Structure 1
Amino acid sequence: MSTPERLIEATRDLLWERGYVGTSPKAIQRRAGAGQGSMYHHFAGKPDLALAAIRRTADEMRATAEAVLGGDGSAYERIAAYLLRERDVLRGCPVGRLTMDPDIITDDALRAPVDETLDWLRGRLALIVEEGLARGEFSAYLVPAEIAAAIVATVQGGYVLARASGSPAAFDTAVRGLLALLAFATISVSV
């Protein structure tokens, strides 16, 4: 792995573990096995490196979500696959956790990839719900943007509840509850 790649990956890990303030240039260099000169040769400073790391994390999250959401199956099946996919629940969402970091949220450049990714996810989920409505899979009373927001809120809130309790059970319960509500919306169509 090249030095810039090692620096980006080290920053990604540290942002997830410690947040922006806890991610010092010295900690990045130590984790990446790179010197100060290398870091500042490739990046203008910590904000520049953090932005590259956040963008990489956001791109990875989109690719992971799209791999499931773009798969085969009904709208419900694709949403269920997204909700039930393998996650490190107790570690939390690497993008969602950034929303809790005041130094990232108050910086327009650092916040932009976070906003864009969550907007993309809500939009992608809304399109799937729209597809389900068009195919008659869901009851017509569903509003795609609202269902998409509820899905994202369930996942992000599930992470928070799981971390607070120290158990993935809270996440799993939230996901099962949402899937039951969506299943009811599909059953209502045939009744």
Structure 2
Amino acid sequence: MENNTRINLINSSFDEIYKKGYQGASLTTILKNAKVHKGSMYHFFANKKELALVSIKEKIYERFSQRYSAILQLESNYLEAFIKSIKDVKQRDFNLGCPIATVIQEMSNLDDDFKILMKEIYQTFRKNINNILDKAVEKNEMKQCDTAKLALYIVSTLEGAILSAKATGNVKDYIDVIDILSSYILSFRL
């Protein structure tokens, strides 16, 4: 039961912050949606900020794990699996945008704890993609290249594509950018 309470708080907090931003997130709404009293929250977290930081970290790393760990466990076809993953529009919310970018934009200049956490998350995002590219090079599926720079380019393009789709309300903007990005990535294939 105690673990369920913590999970409910994490999920509710992340959802509220993702939809309204940290500053717009209501602790009352978080607790109501988690079906938890304030005293129960304080059993796990010192305050709203700690709850927010933990929920952002856990939920975003959970997404990374679902998206990228499975690709790294493969024996081959890393580029194809990665491209399939980025083309899957069901994995993204184009109305709300990327949760990483959303929190970075809102909080990195306002709070050092958020800035540190979001830098760590962003670097992990890049590293996950870099690891996939390194695996593809290692297995002779792609040419030797500066995989760190290519990972930076891919992350930047993904973030821009998500922002474009959010700004226009048109998922096709994301799809069009990803089609070009996919062709570019595949140009490194051996």
With normalisation by structure 1, the TM-score equals 0.84
Question: Per-residue deviation at 1:135?
Answer: 4.2
Query: How far, CA to CA, are the matches of 2:44 and 2:115 in structure 1?
Result: 22
Gaps of 5+ in 2: none
1:84 and 2:90 are equivalent in the alignment: no
Gaps of 5+ in 1: none
Query: How far, CA to CA, are the matches of 1:138 and 1:36 in structure 2?
Result: 53
Question: Per-residue deviation at 1:72?
Answer: 4.0
SS in 2 for 1:185: coil
Question: Per-residue deviation at 1:178?
Answer: 0.6
Residue 94 of structure 1 aligns with which residue?
A: 99
8 Å contact 1:57–1:94 — kept in the other structure?
A: no
Equivalent pairs: percent with the same residue?
A: 24
1:4 and 2:22 are equivalent in the alignment: no
Q: 1:160 to 1:134 in 2, by over 3 A?
A: same
Q: 1:64 to 1:111 in 2, by over 3 A?
A: farther
Query: How far, CA to CA, are the matches of 2:181 and 2:7 in structure 1?
Result: 38
Query: How far, CA to CA, are the matches of 1:4 and 1:133 in structure 2?
Result: 41
Q: Which amino acid aligns with 1:184?
A: S
8 Å contact 2:11–2:59 — kept in the other structure?
A: no
Residue 141 of structure 2 aligns with which residue?
A: 137
The RMSD of aligned alpha carbons is 2.2
Q: 1:115 to 1:69 in 2, by over 3 A?
A: farther
8 Å contact 1:92–1:163 — kept in the other structure?
A: yes
8 Å contact 1:69–1:78 — kept in the other structure?
A: yes
Residue 152 of structure 1 aligns with which residue?
A: 155
Residue 174 of structure 1 aligns with which residue?
A: 177
Q: How does 1:4-153 map to 2 (within 5 A)?
A: 4-70=6-72, 71-85=74-88, 86-90=90-94, 91-102=96-107, 104-140=108-144, 142-153=145-156
1:165 counterpart (156, 163, 168): 168
Query: How far, CA to CA, are the matches of 2:8 and 2:100 in structure 1?
Result: 20
With normalisation by structure 2, the TM-score equals 0.84
Q: How many residues align?
A: 185
8 Å contact 1:89–1:171 — kept in the other structure?
A: no
